[in-house]
Amino acid sequence: MPGAVALVGAGEFLPRMADVDRRLLEATGARRPRVAILPTASYPDGALVFRRWAEAGVAHFRALGAEVEAVLVRDAVDADDPAYAQAVGEADLVYLSGGKPTYLLRTLAGSAVWRAALAAYARGAVLAGCSAGAMVLAARQPRFRRRLLFPLAWDRGLGLVPGIAVLPHYDRLPEPIAALVALQAPRGCLVVGLDEDTAIVGRNGAWQVAGQARVTIWSGRHRTRYRTGDVFRFDEGGPGAR
């Protein structure tokens, strides 16, 4: 049976997300879960930033009792490296941290590492993405230009979660702007706004909100809110507000 998927708005590897991450480790069903940290999205920000995210992920999950490895995929060449693919394929939890979503998507799409992640997921591993990592796991990914608030394009994401696009750091985005972005989404695509320090965890089509804030789902001009502990399905549809 496929594993769980976690989409996180922001806050990876911080103490305030420890309870959420313990839940992800428990969802693997492994006695001592193996965690693979992929800090790939941060590589455009420089080697020091890349290493810092890798080390933060290792320290965080090790403190939670997991066996952790940073898989240092920097570019598309690394993403086809058999050793990196093996490390990801053997993991019980694969975690994509934040950074540049377009770079992450182009690096992983069609790669050996992504195929290994899908194989791990198919056998029950948890796949988690935070910020940029959450964006690429969705069906569509808005591509923004710096200082421009509206997407220039809606790229096809890795498609692990069909029918949605993700807006992380949602509580930092003025909601009228979010509404305009949602109206530009491709037909049939829900726009999921994830507040910082907040996640949705899904399995078999059912999703539950975890963390400290809320989730906002836009279907065209219709907005629905969910808070910690709420359970929902993306295919329920229908307008409404909470």
Residue 241 lies in a domain: no
Specify if 237 maps to a domain: no
pLDDT of 240 over the 60 cut: no
Whether residue 132 lies inside any domain: the answer is: yes
Confidence band, pLDDT 50/70/90 cuts, at residue 152? confident
User: Could you tell me if residue 117 is inside a domain?
Assistant: yes
pLDDT of residue 153: 87
What does pTM read for this prediction?
0.94
Find the domain containing 61 and state its range.
5-232
Give the residue carrying structure tokens 């933060």: 56
CATH assignment at residue 169? 3.40.50.880
pLDDT digits (tens, 9 = 90+) for 224-236: 999 999 999 998 6
Q: Percentage of the chain with pLDDT > 90?
A: 87
**Element of type H or E holding 117:** helix 112-122
Where residue 147 falls among pLDDT bands split at 50, 70, 90? low
pLDDT digits (tens, 9 = 90+) for 43-76: 999 999 999 999 999 999 999 999 999 999 999 9
Does 242 map to a domain?
A: no
120: tokens are 């791990």
Would residue 240 count as lying in a domain?
Answer: no
Helix (H, G, I), strand (E, B), or coil: what is residue 10? coil
What is the distance between the alpha carbons of residues 31 and 7, in angstroms, rounded to a whole number? 23
Strands of the 5-8 sheet, one edge to the other = 67-70, 34-38, 93-96, 126-130, 5-8, 198-203, 206-211, 231-232
- Is residue 37 assigned to a domain? yes
Instruction: Please write the tens of the pLDDT for every residue from 4-22.
Output: 999 999 999 999 999 999 9
Total domains, the chain:
1
Any domain includes 238: no
